[in-house]
Amino acid sequence: MVNLPDPPMSLLLELTHRCPLQCPYCSNPLKLERAGAELSTDEWVSVLDQAAALGVLQVHFSGGEPMARPDLPDLVRHAASLGLYSNLITSAVLLNPRTLAALADAGLDHVQISFQDADAEGADRIGNYAGGHAKKLAAAELVRDAGLALTLNFVVHRHNIARVPQMIAMGEAFGAGRIEIANVQYYGWGLLNRAALLPTRAELDACTAAVFAARERLRGTMVIDYVVPDYYAAEPKGCMGGWARRFVNISPAGRVLPCHAAETLPAFAWPSIREETLADIWNHSEPFARYRGTHWMPEPCKSCDRREIDWGGCRCQAFALTGDAGRTDPACELAPDHAIMAEAAQEAEAPPPAFVYRRVGANLGVMA
């Protein structure tokens, strides 16, 4: 009998890649899926059934903008009926009293609203959506008043990192239980826009100091989750808690992935939920087994005492920066390719180029 891997804890559904915003660091792939390719309501319902049976505990409804799917309340209701913890990851520009009431009534547990900055001018420029920030503020008030748990998410980079203290103050003003201060992760759109987004070391250090001071001050009141950019790290992040160990992602068209960036990796035939079951994919598929655990590791990972803490870092980053997904993440100071990170960080000292906004077709010239 073959030992099966532990079941996944968490499932992220990219219900759609459609989104009113065009943030230049979007976690969606450069090749965005069109609406016609999206899974149907019945197919998503089957995904939820399979996920609960497999042992998934939390489901994240994401996108794109998941509220662009009119069947979202039905999917939330189905998740709740299965005992799944439901989290909505939203830009909130489509959130109003009517749409929120439908979601709350369906049993939604938690809402995470993305803010692009602490002030409207900066935020609307980053999202390339006039009036977006004001809509988000109104939406956050609605969520709070509905009694749902609320997280404010701030993705930070050189254009807004100086306003991290104001972002934390926004979280306090809304009585949010949790905020995220997450530096851009440089894959896909983020990598394409890295020179426009990566902060300097000094800017990052000031941000880190502000976060640590606020954490101390707000202990027991508001949790601040903090994500640093890998470019200034000494140790790599334990990306996704290790490849295919805790997390599974499903794309709008039903491709099943160990993380939302995995479609950037070539030489993988990603399994489809339209053709195989989630249990078969998780337990038996070659792509999920390829970098799971420690069997695949090169040195210096293989003999490192942190190999089951950081799991070799991020496979997508290793590929993006070295061309080989099986190498040690260059973010690790012990990695043979670590110098790449310092070279890239020099971009942050130069004036930022214009954004390549996230939209269908926007990247074609660059990728050609």
Partner 1 sequence: MTETAQADRVPAFRRGTKFRFDTVRAAWVVLGPERAFLPDEQAVEVLKLVDGARSLGAIAEDLCARFNAPTDLVMADVAALLQDLADKGVMTW
Cα(69)–Cα(83) distance, integer angstroms: 22
Beta-strand relationship, 247-250 and 256-257: antiparallel
> In the complex, what is the shortest distance from the CB of residue 128 to partner 1, in angstroms, rounded to a whole number?
27
Binders in 198-257 for partner 1, by CB under 8 A: 219-220, 222-223, 225
Using CB under 8 A, pick the residue from 54, 120, 138, 340 that binds partner 1: 54
Residue 226 is encoded by which pair of tokens?
Answer: 């903090």
Q: Binding partner 1 by CB under 8 A: which of 36, 147, 361, 365?
A: 147
DSSP states of 63-92: SS-GGGSTTHHHHHHHHHHTT-EEEEEE--
Least distance (Å) from partner 1 to the CB of residue 308? 17
Applying CB under 8 A, among 45, 94, 138, 148 the residue interacting with partner 1 is: 148
Out of 135, 178, 292, 307, the residue judged to bind partner 1 by CB under 8 A: 178
Question: Which residues inside 65-94 make contact with partner 1, applying CB under 8 A?
Answer: 83, 85, 87
In angstroms, give the least distance from the CB of 98 to partner 1: 22
**What are the structure tokens assigned to 66, written together?**
């998941």
10 binds partner 1 (CB under 8 A): yes
Cα angle 94, 96, 97; round to 5 = 155
How many helices, marked H, and strands, marked E, lie in the chain? 14, 9
Does 177 bind partner 1 (CB under 8 A)? Our answer is yes
Tell me if 149 contacts partner 1 by CB under 8 A.
yes
Q: How far is the CB of 147 from partner 1 (least distance, A)?
A: 6
Per CB under 8 A, 365 contacts partner 1: no
Q: Is residue 225 within 8 Å of residue 178, measured between CB atoms?
A: yes
Cα 140 to Cα 113: distance, rounded to the nearest angstrom: 7
The answer to whether 31 contacts partner 1 (rule: CB under 8 A) is no
Nearest CA to 155 among 191, 184, 185, 178?
Answer: 184
Chain contacts with partner 1 (rule: CB under 8 A): 7, 9-10, 53-55, 57-58, 83, 85, 87, 109-110, 112, 147-149, 151, 177-178, 219-220, 222-223, 225
